[in-house]
Chains A and B, each alone.
Chain A
Amino acid sequence: MAKDTEHCAASSSGDDVTHGLVDQRVDDSGTRRTFLKVAAAAAATAATEGCGIGAPTGEEFLRQHYKTLTPDDKKRIFALIEDEVRGRSGVTIHMNDPAPIDGVEFAYALNLSVCNGSRRCVEACARENNLPDDPEIRYIRVLEMEKGSLEFEEATPYYDREKVPAEGKFYMPVQCHQCDNPPCVKACPVQATWKEPDGIVVVDYSWCIGCRFCVVACPYFARRFNFVEASIPPDRINPTQGYLSNRARHKGVVEKCTFCLHRTRTGRLPACLEACPTGARKFGNLNDPNSDIRKIIESKRVYVLKEELATLPRFYYFFG
């Protein structure tokens, strides 16, 4: 797509689509498609005339919901995305879409006794998931807490120190808890976010209308909105990309931690875990009685954040 600093017809049509949808969906979510067919025809025409870098293509406007995509559709879409990224940044990426593994349910545990607030997880996550630096999007916030209290009013993620841990403080990283009763999923008016059988809450970036209801619904402040088109230096793009996890997100969609599903569904551990210098992070399969995570839940006194909200997080904290 040609570069053009002016906003062209495609982007304004796209935004009209977004706003029309919020009203349309009240009757039937299917009307999104009907609506889009008309709007996207205009968008597709305009797209050929040139538009801002990375604005959604006509193909993306017409793209079906993730759950209705056939393997052939995925193959075609993945090839298109790979071409698009190659054209835009010169990076050859490998799009994939690993399926949830039968009988596997993921959970995470974090040892607050040893976390030292070094934020290595935050940066590793940013590199793994292609998060932009300007404006900054980070999935993990490390809260600096007063020792002896769990008072979030006095906690801050904005600590800037020469050395951590600081005297009298402990550190509590917060990211998406992949709740079993997720308020964000309930809030989505177009079902662009849902819970997968292995427990991971995912977002279909091509279906998200950017209403941000989920962002406010999340009690853990785990969701992030792309206010502007992200730009990542080509040498920092992670070429292994999952359709539901770390692929390029357009302006106007919501994203979140996915437990690195492009890694974890292929057996690897999440990037944040491997980057932790203190080994505070533990991840595994809840259904496997011999997994680390299972042993922690069975033998340590774990707790979940904001338990009283009955969100049933899959992210456990413990002191040990």
Chain B
Amino acid sequence: MRLPWLAYISPRLGATVLLPFASLAAGCNQSEEPLHHRQLPKGGTSSVVVTVEARTPLLSTYPCSRCHFSPNREPDPRERKFTEFHTHKVLNHGTQGGWCYRCHTKDDIDKLHLQDGTLVDFDHAYEVCGSCHGDKFRDWKAGLHGLTTGFWNGAQVRRSCPNCHDPHSPAFAPMKPERMPEWPRTAPAETHAMGPEEGESEGHGKGH
């Protein structure tokens, strides 16, 4: 397979920087591999350390036990409509099977629980989400789903599920987009100086 772009590299300019790469590329292309089947290289090292963003600092009403403290009062597992507290929450998730106590824990209100009953704190809320949404949880753990910022080969911060998805109404909320791109300018009279035609005619250096 020929590499036409090599023809454009003058040895004086390109040898030191491009030749190692070029020989690699040439090596790949000489085999019968179709061009579009890239061979994934082997080896390499990784020093990625992932931290999951803490959840509790973002919760304005945490700890829940500040209000939900009465041990004598029986929790109400019936269908809930928030009229007094938590009124900004829309309940559009997990409506089958216990309402609040599907995820929140009746006997320890500052904790969540997995579907098997294991208690977890709010910073590990992703475990709760993952106990139903296994496929997404798998991708998220591998770094394939969700926002991760920081360094591609170092310390990374990954958003926990509820930091992007409201757990009470998890569909990603529609948002206002940034402004529309500008249409290409066609050099009308008032923007003549901006137009491509002006740039070209000027290039001939005539009349200056």
Residues of chain A whose beta carbon lies under 8 Å from any beta carbon of chain B: 7, 11-13, 15-16, 18-19, 29-30, 65, 67-68, 103-105, 111, 114, 116-120, 122-123, 135-136, 138, 141, 157-165, 180-182, 185-186, 188, 191, 194-197, 210, 227-228, 251-252, 264, 267-269, 273-274, 276-279, 282-292, 294-300, 304, 307, 310, 312, 320
Cα–Cα distance between A86 and B174 once the two chains are bound (Å): 42
Stretch at the interface among B18-26, B70-78, B105-113: B18-26
A136 to B194 Cα, complex, angstroms? 11
Chain A residues with Cβ below 8 Å from B35 are: 181, 310, 312
Asked whether B183 lies within 8 Å of A290 as measured between CB atoms, the reply is no
Are A279 and B46 neighbours in the complex by a CB distance under 8 Å?
A: no
Picked from B25, B36, B139, B151, the residue with its CB within 8 Å of the CB of A310 is B36
Contact B183 A158 (CB under 8 A): yes
Footprint of A on B, CB under 8 Å?
4-5, 8-10, 12-14, 16-18, 20-21, 25, 35-36, 38, 40-46, 48, 139, 142-154, 159, 164, 172, 174-183, 185, 193-196, 199, 202-205, 208
Give which listed residue, B10, B142, B145, contacts A29 with CB less than 8 A.
B10
The 8 closest A-B pairs by CB, nearest first: A279-B147, A119-B178, A12-B205, A163-B174, A288-B44, A136-B182, A292-B143, A287-B44
Instruction: Provide the main secondary structure of the chain A interface.
Output: loop
Q: CB distance B44 to A197 under 8 Å?
A: no
Question: Given A7-B202, A182-B5, A227-B194, are A118 and B41 neighbors across the interface (CB < 8 Å)?
Answer: no
When distances are taken between beta carbons in the complex, the residues of chain B under 8 Å from A277 are 147, 164, 175
Beta-carbon contact of B181 and A136 below 8 Å: yes
Measured in the bound complex, the distance between the Cα atoms of B206 and A11 in whole Å is 11
Which of A268, A287, A300 has a CB less than 8 Å from the CB of B152? A268
Question: Is the pair B178, A118 in contact by a Cβ cutoff of 8 Å?
Answer: yes
Q: How many Å from the CB of B31 to the closest CB on chain A?
A: 15
Which residue of A11, A290, A297 contacts B48 across the interface (Cβ within 8 Å)?
Answer: A290
Q: Which of B12, B44, B179, B202 has the most CB of A within 10 A?
A: B44
- In contact, B181 and A141 (Cβ under 8 angstroms): yes
Interfacial chain B residues near A292, Cβ < 8 Å = 142-144, 148, 152
The closest CB in chain A to the CB of B200 belongs to A227
Cβ–Cβ contact A286 & B40, under 8 A: yes
The CA of A284 and the CA of B46, in the complex, are separated in Å by 11
What is the bound-complex CA distance between A257 and B124, given in angstroms? Answer: 37
Cβ contact within 8 Å between B42 and A268: no
Q: Are A269 and B150 in contact (CB under 8 A)?
A: yes
Nearest Cβ on chain B to A144's Cβ, whole angstroms: 10
Give Cα distance in the complex from A96 to B166, angstroms: 42
| A286→B41 contact, CB < 8 A | yes
Give every chain A residue within 8 A of B148 (Cβ-Cβ).
Answer: 269, 279, 292
Selected contact of A227 from candidates B8, B159, B174, B196, CB within 8 Å: B196
A residues in contact with B181, CB < 8 Å: 122, 136, 138, 141, 157-158
Interchain CB contact (< 8 A) of B177 among A164, A186, A195, A284: A164
Q: Which of A13, A119, A182 has the most CB of B within 10 A?
A: A119
CB of A191 within 8 A of CB of B177, answer no
Closest Cβ–Cβ distance, residue B40 to chain A (whole Å): 7
Tell me whether A267 and B175 are in contact (CB under 8 A). no
Find out whether the CB atom of B8 lies under 8 angstroms from the CB atom of A191. Answer: yes
Contact indicator A159/B180 (Cβ below 8 Å): yes
The 8 Å CB contact of A122, one of B45, B174, B178, B193, is B178
Task: Please name 8 pairs of A and B residues whose Cβ atoms are closer than 8 Å in the assembled complex, sorted by A.
Answer: A68-B13, A118-B177, A277-B147, A284-B153, A285-B44, A291-B46, A292-B148, A307-B36
